[in-house]
Structures are given as structure tokens and as C-alpha cells.
Amino acid sequence: RRIPDILWVLPNGEEAGFPVPVPTYRHRVFHNGTLRIREVQIADEGAYRCKDRDATGSHDIESISLYVLTSAPSVKQQLFSTVQVRPGSTAFADCSPASGKPIATCSWATPSGQELTVGSWRGNVRVLESGRLILSRINRNTLGKYVCTLTNLAGAVSRVVEFKFYSIPAAIRARKFRRFFVQVGGSRAFDCPTTGSPHPRLYWRTPEGRSLGTNHVKLITASNSTVAVYDNGNIMIKDARLEDSGIYRCYAYNRLGSAYISVELVVFR
């Protein structure tokens, strides 16, 4: 009984087999059908089909894909970077391979550890087919470190992008000193508009040295007038008395700095 010929069809269409001669010295097919490739080159990458050939014709037995690894992937962008954003805005970060063979696949991990592959999204975070990460309608829950991982059969590389709000020292959008007048028994409000990131905390200090924060605190003074501080930072003096005259100071602060303004209240009859 005739032993069938073993043939391998190479990616370039040439055939190598046993006992069929091989096309180059780098290819050899053993009697058991094993194909050996010496001094592997990038041109050797592709699909190899094993066939047997007898009197009835040739028949495919197996198909194998060969990937030639040249290097683990590297990333075009910096391995660590920081992106400063504003609340409600949209921001993005790229993660694309600079080199590596075969071409790397891309995935992103959110600060909570959830993995996002290309073409997927979760809430206001999505990853495009290009590997670009997009964050929309940014809020405090969106902030943090996002990790991009590029992977191929030769290895992997990671890139970390941290999104955080702009860091701005506390400031007050008002003149450093203002003077207001109010008649006895009347009411007067002062504002203290602040800016900064993180958002500043603030408090008012009355002429008698008491401090009031922005938590709807109401203080009954010795003269029976009422001083209240509201969440928006405004201070209100109700049923003013002559004794309420003096300097009221608003202080705003965050971890980057502080500021204050002075307001003089003059109560007259």
C-alpha cells in the first residue's frame, strides 16, 4: 500500500513535503509530517496548510497560523500623564502602539478596576476603536487613574492617565473692602462669591469675633438682631441695631491658598 505524500502549503503558495523536495534549505518536512522552519523570518508569518496526497487526490488535514514575534509593544504616548479637567466637560486620552509585532490589542481599566475594551462604554466613559478613551460630563466620580494596557503575544505595556480637576487657589470675586449702610431695624445682606478648585470653604467673622460657616447658622446678637450665613456664602443681618456696626470679614480657603474681604456695616438712625 502506497504511503501518501505529506504536503505543506506555505503562506506564499509554495509546497513543501515528504518526499516532495522543499523549496529552500530552511524548510524540512520529516516522514511523520512535521514541518521544521530554520532561521525564522518575518516573511514566514502566515497560514500553513497540511495536506496528504494519494491516488484519490489531496486532502486538507490541518491549518496552522504562524505569528513571528519581533518585540513586545511600546506606546506612543507618555507612560504616565495628568489631564486637568473642569466639571461637566469632556476629555480624552490616547493609547496607541508605537511598535511591536504582532499589533497589540488595547484595553482600559477604570479607577474602580472595570475593564473596557475598544468599542465599549460604561456610563460616561467609552473607548473608541482607535484606543482613545473619552470621558464626558465629568464629575467627581469620573476622576482618578485610568490604566491602558497594550498586549501582544510577546508581552504587554501599560500607560497611566490621571484625570483631576484644575487646581486653583481660593479667591473671592469682590473688592477687598466695601462699606454698606442700613437703618436701625432694617436688614442688609453681603455676598462673598468664591472661586477655586477644590471648591473653597468659607466663613464669616463678625465684629465681636464670632465665626459663622455656610450652614444656615443663625446667631442672635447681644442687641437681639439676627445674623445668618447661607449655603451660597451670603451673610444677612436682620433687625439691625447700632451695636451691629463694624467690620465683617469673609474668609475663603482651600488646600492651595486662602483669601478674605472686609465689609464695613454702618447702622444709622
Q: List 16's β-bridge partners, or say none.
A: 8
Are residues 159 and 195 located together in one domain of the fold?
A: no
- The span from the CA of 67 to the CA of 53, in Å, is 27
Backbone angles phi, psi at 141, to 5 degrees: -70, -20
Helix (H, G, I), strand (E, B) or coil at 89: coil
In the listed set 131, 165, 199, which residue is the last one of a domain according to the structure?
A: 165
Picking from 141, 165, 189, the residue at the C-terminal end of a domain is: 165
CB–CB of 168/196 below 8 Å? yes
Is pTM beyond 0.85 here?
Answer: no
CATH number of residue 36's parent domain: 2.60.40.10
Question: 3-class SS at 98?
Answer: strand
Cβ(48)–Cβ(63) under 8 Å? yes
Amino acid letter at 232?
A: N
Domain boundaries, position 120: 71-165
Task: Answer yes or no: do 221 and 250 share one domain.
Answer: yes
Digit-by-digit pLDDT tens for the chain (269 residues) are 445 577 888 898 888 776 656 667 788 888 788 889 988 888 888 999 998 876 566 677 889 999 887 788 889 999 999 999 988 999 999 998 888 777 889 999 999 999 999 999 999 999 999 999 999 999 989 999 999 999 988 889 999 999 998 888 999 999 999 999 999 999 999 999 999 888 899 999 999 888 888 765 666 655 567 888 888 889 999 999 999 999 999 999 998 899 999 999 999 99
How far apart CA 43 and CA 40 sit, in angstroms, is: 8
Total residues found in the chain within this entry: 269
